[in-house]
Amino acid sequence: MTTISFTDVKKRAAEIEAKLNYEFKDKDLLALSFVHRSFVNEHRDTVKEHNERLEFLGDTVLSILIAEYLYREYPDKLEGEMSRLRSRLVEASACIAYAQKLDIEEYVPLSKGERMNGGHGRESILADLFEAVIGAIYLDGGIDASKDFLFDNFFDEIKDMIAEPAHNWK
């Protein structure tokens, strides 16, 4: 497995942006959204920050976008049903599917140990990456850019998840 650095992510920005269908004004935000904590731990001399703060922000932005969509598009749904749907659309498994569709995991700088443990395929890394990217897009272009990114790339998946009946575990 090849090693990718923070600098490599910036050099490959155009390639990544093509996959995201979004062009960043601030390439540092793009690059930061891909930096895993493990990489920073091994490269403190060159990278000081990882993507977890962007992930925190992106989680909230994603939730707001989905909540607004459900509110506007499904006026007959009650609050409880909208909450269950929002939960399904923003949970880790959904974020993993979104990240996999974008095919961007190869650009995540990881530590040597994380790479040896198959880090690029780890689902938590993919879910966190997706949320960090949403957070970075929000900071770079605002809520409208975030909304365009989400619905231009994942409208069909969102509609499919809404149409899919919820699992009854009883």
Q: Which residues are catalytic?
A: 59, 131
The crossing angle, in degrees rounded to 10, of helices 27-34 and 52-73 is 100
Q: How many residues does the chain have?
A: 170
Terminal Cα distance for the chain, rounded: 43
Closest CA to 103 of 124, 120, 115, 118: 120
Query: What are the residues whose beta carbons fall under 8 Å from the beta carbon of 5, sequence distance 6 or more?
Result: 43, 46, 109
CA distance 35 to 107: 9
Taking the CA atoms of residue 106, residue 110, residue 112 and residue 116 in that order, the dihedral angle to the nearest 10 degrees is: -50
DSSP state at residue 135: H
d(CA 33, CA 125): 12
